[in-house]
Amino acid sequence: MKQKSINIKGTFVSIQSPLVMGILNVTPDSFYADSRKQTEADINKRIETILHEGGQIIDIGGYSSRPGADKVSPQEETLRLTFALKIINRHYPDAIVSVDTFRADVARRCVEEFGAAIINDIAAGELDADMFQTVADLQVPYIMMHMRGTPQTMQQFTCYDDLIVDVRKYFADKVYLLEQMGVNDIVLDPGFGFSKTVDQNYTLMHRLKDFSIFDLPILAGISRKAMIYTYLNITSSESLNGTSVLHTLALLNGADILRVHDVKEAVEVVKIVSKYNNAW
């Protein structure tokens, strides 16, 4: 098995120790209300918190992907993202930034004009036919997630012949295309909460190691999601404990990157699991 790493602007960043990606939502409607940051002061404070608490990547999103989310125009999404990127470039120029968008033109502008280092695409090219070519042109790491439909319709598409087989086939086809186009840095996100029922999400967690066949980094995005709060009959704001449990399970099952709201707690999970894994 090759050593996992991603090329960030010419520097190979090892993922032998899992990375923590802190979420920065510059949206008014993300599912977890405390994650919504829209003013310069709030955005700056959130960035500072992510970095101070040990987050290695800042993931900026300008389009909420929660079930049934309102559609956002490309112009509005770009405005939100570039507003935050300008703040990062002004105060934290060395920060590693991932831009969470399924639109190729938005991704290209964020990378070329504002220095974003990673593209995080919830649709794996399904919602913009130009995305794969854009990633190939830009030669930046590409996180592609499994989803069916759109954020507005995805929960209508939860029927699978075999969940794990179907998701692996989805990734196999796309990894092949990307590698043929010369894309070298691919991260797989199995899409917890996207086009999946609560029970399917737990099956996905239990079988996360099945995706190691690709020998590519795996990202787990489970922070405060419905698979926690719906199952426990609580709210997203009460879901930190459940999140930490699932982060632990994800790491034990092969996750390399955790995409999180609560950076400090996730960093602690990474440290404890690492200690556990190296205890003999």
- Among residues 175, 79, 145, 130, the alpha carbon closest in space to that of 60 is found at 79
Contacts of residue 188, defined as CB under 8 A and 6 or more positions apart, other chains included, come to 143, 144, 171, 175, 211, 214, 216, 217, 218, 219
CA 75 from centroid of its chain's CA atoms:
22
Domain that holds residue 117: 17-273
Average pLDDT over residues 230-255: 97
Residue 78 inside a domain? The answer is yes
pTM value? 0.93
Average pLDDT over residues 165-170: 97
Residue 44 inside a domain? The answer is yes
Cα separation, 40 vs 242, in Å, equals 31
Residue 136 inside a domain? The answer is yes
Residue 3 inside a domain? The answer is no
Average pLDDT over residues 198-224: 97
Average pLDDT over residues 50-58: 97
Q: 65 or 208: whose pLDDT is higher?
A: 208
**Residue 124 maps to which CATH number?**
3.20.20.20
Percentage with pLDDT > 90 across the chain: 81
pLDDT tens across 87-145, in order? 999 999 999 999 999 999 999 999 999 999 999 999 999 999 999 999 999 999 999 99
Residue 5 inside a domain? The answer is no
Residue 196 token pair: 């999946």
pLDDT band at 5 (very low <50, low <70, confident <90, very high): confident
Cα separation, 240 vs 188, in Å, equals 24
Q: Which range in 79-83, 145-149, 175-179 is most confidently predicted, on average pLDDT?
A: 175-179
Cα separation, 149 vs 193, in Å, equals 13
What is the count of structural domains for the chain? 1
Indicate the average pLDDT of the chain: 92
Residue 110 inside a domain? The answer is yes
* Residues annotated as catalytic (active site), given as ranges: 225, 259
